[in-house]
Chains A and B, each alone.
Chain A
Amino acid sequence: MVGTFIAGYGAEMLRRTLQHISMVGVALVLAASIGVSLGVVISGHERVARWVIGAASVLFTVPSLALFALLVVALAPIRQGTGRVPAITALTLYSVLPIVRNTWVALRQVDPSTVQAAQGMGMTPGQVMLHVKLPLALPLIMAGIRNAAVMGVGMATIATLIGGGGLGYFIFEGIARANRSMVIAGTIAITLLGLAVNGGLLLAEEALMPERRGRGEHRR
């Protein structure tokens, strides 16, 4: 059964996997840029921060299917109502919350004595952010990004309903045609992709943080 499925749908599967990845990838890059910058900007302003996080949380509670539908309506006047644009927009909007929230929390958790040492040695506020706060906040920020990425892989499944393509096609087509192996194949592919994305980002994280590499190597 697996053999016949791959023979029949192998090329289609590959094409749609790449579509899925590029959709989630573009949305993630956008969401990370927006989320981290927003987190940095609001980190010094408690009240603004609560508003921004609140607004993002409200957005997060909108059901994903509804958000996709809303964007179809909203983007229709600029002739982008269907296809990749509304799909990527929806994914980006959803992914911003975990990233901005983690960035904000992470920056607040940086040891104040480290920050004070940095200021006391004559770092400008920008240098303190770039060389001290952000690197130390990185593990939590990366956790937020991973969170958003895995969530995005799952959510991008419904993009196919608005013509965005991706692996969701197999699931919805499978349901329509009552083809069980199509549904199962689509589900497995999406799950594996989610795991792969999580693993890949973990590796990237380690490469970004040399001080966490080779734990115990120099210990006596």
Chain B
Amino acid sequence: MIELDAVTKRYGDKTPVDHLSLRIPDNAITILIGPSGCGKTTTLKMINRLIEPTGGDIRIDGRSVYAMDPIELRRSIGYVIQEIGLFPHYTVEGNIGVVPGLLGWDRTRIRRRAEELLELVNLDPLTYLRRYPRELSGGERQRVGVARALAADPRVLLMDEPFGAIDPINRRSLQDFFLRLQSELKRTVVFVTHDISEAVKLGDRIAIMRDGRLVQVDATHALLEHPADAFVEDLLGAARSAEQLLLYRAANYVDTAFTVMTTEELHRSGVRAEAPLIILKDGAVVSGYVEKGQLVTCEDPQDAVCRFETVSGNATLLETVATLLESGRKRAVVQSPDGTILGTLSVPMIAEIMAKVAR
């Protein structure tokens, strides 16, 4: 756990961070969010001592960071920033190997680790190890940036608007990628963003800051349901209903009335009109679904099978609607990062949810 205890930073007569106390739990993503100039980045940089505070204390697992050597402290913490900061004169392997190199690992161990991490972030080591950052796309660079931060296997990751400079479509897929990674690795992540939909999508907990102070901190769903004051409500955009779509995760609103069967089972079974929605899953592959009642009119059960879109359970309702509208499909199958089917969503269902929330 990371504990911030009355942390204060003053520059002259400005106080970007003012007596901030915050507990950041292990193995979860905690978001720091607020308008620009609220002190969120300053707070993040005080954790790895890139900025020294004027007062207060920061402890990681009970040890004050001010009792540690700042260089060693930074080597033990992963750090990802907006412009990525990949070294343009190093290859991908060289970039991933920076911290291991500083820690004195030998070459073969660094090479092995780089290969391992590239596989983890879904980049083929053979293709990418020897490339230079300028030969990568924005999304690939960001993956390498995450791999580099993970190189020495740090428990804590500090991320400062890491996906901020990426276009919306790639940002969405990087967020999904990062959530999958986190569900596997379970690091303690402190993530700074100014994008509320990103906060809701990624955050297990959200800490809202304003003028250097903590306004509210809570688990994401609790925060959405009980905003502390008008400022938080405003930030969450609760006043405008369309923006609410940004705040709700698909996983919490899915239609759970469905049965899963394989294509073979569908053909064998005599399911008819009364059957609820059937989702076809052959092995790990979700191949389609059958709407209630559709089988009645069909000679061959295969004719009733509809295609669908897959959406991550962490996706916001807005993303779900966008995905459905773009593809023209009727239903989205919502899956958790590990592949479990959570349920389905359709545009009319989402409209109904919004109508209920607005009341």
Report yes or no: B83 in contact with A209, Cβ–Cβ below 8 A.
no
Inter-chain CA distance A209–B87, complex, in Å, is 13
The interface of chain A, by Cβ under 8 A from chain B, is 111, 113-114, 116-124, 127, 132, 135-136, 209, 211, 218-219
Assess whether B287 is interfacial by the CB under 8 Å rule.
no
Contacts A211-B89, A218-B135; A113 near B75 (Cβ below 8 A) = no
Query: Which A-B residue pairs are the 7 nearest by beta carbons?
Result: A117-B85, A122-B75, A122-B74, A113-B83, A120-B79, A113-B85, A135-B89
* 27 contacting pairs across A/B (C-beta < 8 A): A111-B85, A113-B82, A113-B83, A113-B85, A114-B86, A114-B87, A116-B50, A116-B81, A116-B85, A117-B81, A117-B84, A117-B87, A120-B48, A120-B74, A120-B79, A120-B81, A120-B85, A120-B158, A122-B71, A122-B72, A122-B74, A132-B87, A136-B89, A209-B89, A211-B91, A218-B130, A218-B131
A111 and B83 in contact (CB under 8 A), knowing A121-B99, A209-B89? yes
Contacts A121-B148, A219-B135 given; 16 further ones with Cβ under 8 A? A114-B85, A117-B79, A117-B87, A119-B50, A120-B81, A120-B158, A121-B74, A121-B102, A123-B98, A127-B102, A132-B87, A136-B87, A136-B88, A211-B134, A218-B132, A218-B135
- Closest chain-B Cβ to A141's Cβ sits at a distance in Å of 13
**Among the listed A118, A120, A219, which residue makes an inter-chain contact with B87, where contact means beta carbons less than 8 Å apart?**
A118
Instruction: Pick from B48, B87, B102 the residue with the most CB of A within 10 Å.
Output: B87
The complex places the Cα of A119 from the Cα of B73 at a distance, in Å, of 11
Question: Across the interface, do A114 and B88 meet the contact criterion of CB distance under 8 Å?
Answer: yes
User: Known: A211-B132, A218-B131. Is A118-B85 also a contact (CB below 8 A)?
Assistant: yes
By beta carbon, the residue of chain B nearest A135 is B89
The distance in angstroms between the C-alpha atoms of A126 and B72, with both chains bound, is 15
- Enumerate B75-118 residues with CB–CB distance to A below 8 Å: 75-76, 79, 81-91, 98-99, 102
Chain B residues lying within 8 Å of A135, measured Cβ to Cβ, are: 89
Docked CA distance A209–B88 (Å): 11
CB neighbours of A116 from chain B (8 A): 50, 81, 85
Q: Decide: A113 and B131 in contact? CB cutoff 8 A.
A: no
Complex contacts, A122 vs chain B, CB 8 Å: 71-76, 99, 102
| Contact string against A for B residues 130-144, beta-carbon threshold 8 Å, 1 for contact and 0 otherwise | 111011000000000
Mask: chain B, 1-38; 1 = CB below 8 Å from A; 0 = not: 00000000000000000000000000000000000000
Distance in angstroms between the alpha carbons of A120 and B41 in the assembled complex: 13
In the bound complex, residues from chain A placing their C-beta under 8 Å from that of B84 are 113, 117
In the complex, residue of chain A having the shortest beta-carbon distance to the beta carbon of B151: A121
Least distance between A138 CB and chain B CB atoms (Å): 8
Give the residue name and chain of the A residue nearest to B149 (CB). A121
How far apart sit A113 and B165, CA to CA, in the bound complex (Å)?
A: 13
A118 vs B83: C-alpha distance in the bound complex, in angstroms? 13
By a CB distance below 8 angstroms, the chain A residues around B74 are: 119-122
Instruction: Please pick, from B73, B81, B135, B158, the residue contacting A113 in the complex, using a CB distance under 8 A.
Output: B81
Q: How far is the CA of A114 from the CA of B158 in the complex (A)?
A: 16
